[in-house]
C-alpha cells in the first residue's frame, strides 16, 4: 500500500519544522538566534524541496520507530560481531561478495537500505546499480541474505510500503 | 549516592567507547584488504562513539544540548555509512588500482 504523494507545501512545512528542531539543538535553544534560524531553515527547506522533490513516500511514524529500534540493536550487534572476530586469534573471517536483487523501489528507500546495510553486521554496500546491490560480506558462511531481507522489510515499513505488492507500487 | 553511581556508569561507558575505538583501529592492522578494514572501522567506531555520547548525555546542559549530542552521533553515522560506501565502490570499480596501492602501502 502506498500513501498519496505529499504536496510540495506540506513537505516544505515538514522539512522546515524538522530543520528548525535541528537549529534549536545546534544553537542550544538560544532565543536571540531564532530569527536568523527561521530565515536559514526556510531557505534550506525551499532548496531541499527544489533539489529533492517529494516523490510520493510518506514516512510512517510507527514504521520509523520500529526501524530505529531494529537499527540500534543491530548496529550494537554489528560492532560486537566485528570486535569478536578481531579479538579472536584465529581471525575468523570469510570475506566475499553477493549480489542481490532489491525489491524496494528506486530513490530514498533503496538509498536508505544501502546505507543501513553498511552499518549492519557483516555487510557493506559496495555497488548499487538499478535494483542490483553488490554487498561485501565479512563472512559468507553466515545467513547474510536472510538478514538483508529483514532489513529490507524494516525499510519498507518506514515508507509504508509492503514488499508483496511492490510491483504495483513502483511507478 | 545516586551521583556517584551515575558517575561510575559514565566512566564505564566512556572506557567502553574508547575500547571500541581501539578495536576499530586494530582492525586496520589485522585485516588485510581494504573492504574488510572498512567493516571494522564503520561498525566498531559507531559503537564507540555511541557509548561516548551515551556517557556524556547526563552532563548535557539542557535538552537542546542532549539533542545536539545525539545529532552529532547521527551525523557521524550517516557520514561513515556514506564514506564506507564510496570507498567500497571505488575499490569495486578499480580493483587493480587498489591492489597496487595496497602493495605499495605494505
The reported pLDDT for the residue numbered A3 is 44
Claim to verify: residue A161 and residue A91 sit in the same structural domain: yes
Q: CB contact, 8 Å: B76 with chain A?
A: no
Asked if A73 and A145 sit in the same domain, the reply is yes
- Res. A11: pLDDT tops 90: no
In this complex, is the C-beta atom of B39 within 8 Å of any C-beta atom belonging to chain A? yes
The structure's pTM equals 0.80
Report the number of distinct structural domains present in chain A.
2
Q: Do B23 and A82 touch (CB under 8 A)?
A: yes
Q: Does B18 touch chain A (CB under 8 A)?
A: no
Judge contact between A118 and A128, C-beta under 8 A.
no
Burial class, A14, CB count within 10 angstroms (exposed 0-12 / middle 13-18 / buried 19+): middle
**Could A82 and B27 be called an inter-chain contact, meaning their C-beta atoms sit closer than 8 Å?**
yes
Domain contains A1: no
Q: What are phi and psi of A55, to 5 degrees?
A: -125, 30
Tell me which chain B residues have a C-beta less than 8 angstroms from the C-beta of A29. Answer: 62-64
pLDDT at site A107: 81
Residue range A113-169, pLDDT digits in tens: 998 998 898 888 888 888 888 888 888 888 888 888 999 999 998 888 877 655 444
Residue of A120, A133, A32, A21 whose CA lies nearest to A77: A120
A151 and A68 in a common domain: yes
Q: ipTM of this complex > 0.85?
A: no
Same domain, A47 and A69: no
Per-residue confidence at B97, pLDDT binned at 50, 70, 90? Answer: low
Mean pLDDT for all residues in chain A: 84
Clarify whether residues A73 and A112 are in a common domain: yes
The verdict on A13 and A81 lying in the same domain is no
Q: Is A17 helix (H, G, I), strand (E, B) or coil?
A: helix
Count of domains forming chain B? 1
Q: Hey, are the CB atoms on B44 and A126 less than 8 Å from each other?
A: no
Which residues from chain A sit within 8 angstroms of residue B68, using beta carbons? 25-26, 28
Does residue A109 lie within any of the structural domains? yes
Q: Verify that A119 and A146 share a domain, yes or no.
A: yes
> A117 to chain B, minimum CA–CA distance in Å?
9
Q: If we measure between CA atoms, which residue out of B46, B2, B70, B36 comes closest to residue A74?
A: B46
In this structure, of A13-17, B25-29, B44-48, B96-100, the range with the lowest mean pLDDT score is: B96-100
Measure the CA–CA gap between B10 and B30, rounded to whole angstroms. Answer: 30
Is the CB of A93 less than 8 angstroms away from the CB of B36? Answer: yes
Cβ contact (<8 Å) for B62 and A27? no
CA atoms within 13 A on the CB side of A11: 20
Q: How far apart, in Å, do the first and last CA atoms of chain A sit? A: 13
Domain of residue A29, residue span? 8-51
Amino acid at each position: 500500500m502506498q500513501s498519496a504523494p505529499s504536496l510540495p507545501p506540506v513537505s516544505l512545512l515538514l522539512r522546515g519544522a524538522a530543520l528548525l528542531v535541528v537549529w534549536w539543538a545546534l544553537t542550544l535553544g538560544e532565543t536571540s538566534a531564532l530569527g536568523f534560524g527561521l530565515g536559514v531553515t526556510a531557505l534550506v527547506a525551499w532548496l531541499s524541496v527544489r533539489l529533492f522533490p517529494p516523490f510520493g513516500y510518506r514516512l510512517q511514524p510507527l514504521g520509523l520507530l520500529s526501524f530505529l529500534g531494529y537499527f540500534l540493536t543491530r548496529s550494537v550487534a554489528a560492532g560486537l560481531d566485528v570486535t569478536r572476530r578481531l579479538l579472536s586469534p584465529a581471525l575468523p573471517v570469510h570475506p566475499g561478495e553477493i549480489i542481490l536483487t532489491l525489491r524496494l523501489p528506486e530513490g530514498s528507500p533503496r538509498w536508505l537500505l544501502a546505507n543501513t546495510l553498511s552499518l549492519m553486521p557483516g555487510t557493506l554496500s559496495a555497488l548499487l546499480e538499478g535494483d542490483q546491490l553488490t554487498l561485501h560480506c565479512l563472512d559468507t558462511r553466515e545467513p547474510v541474505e536472510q538478514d538483508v531481507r529483514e532489513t529490507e522489510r524494516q525499510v519498507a515499513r518506514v515508507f509504508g510500503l509492503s514488499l508483496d505488492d511492490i510491483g504495483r507500487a513502483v511507478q | 549516592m545516586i551521583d556517584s553511581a551515575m558517575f561510575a556508569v559514565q566512566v564505564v561507558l566512556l572506557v567502553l567507547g574508547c575500547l571500541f575505538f581501539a578495536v576499530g583501529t586494530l582492525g586496520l592492522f589485522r585485516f588485510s584488504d581494504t573492504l574488510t578494514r572498512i567493516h571494522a572501522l564503520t561498525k566498531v567506531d559507531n559503537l564507540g562513539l555511541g557509548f561516548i555520547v551515551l556517557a556524556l548525555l547526563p552532563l548535557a546542559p539542557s535538552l537542546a544540548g542532549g539533542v545536539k549530542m545525539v545529532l552529532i552521533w547521527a551525523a557521524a553515522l550517516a557520514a561513515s555509512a556514506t564514506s564506507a560506501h564510496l570507498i567500497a565502490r571505488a575499490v569495486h570499480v578499480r580493483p587493480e588500482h587498489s591492489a597496487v596501492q595496497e602493495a605499495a602501502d605494505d
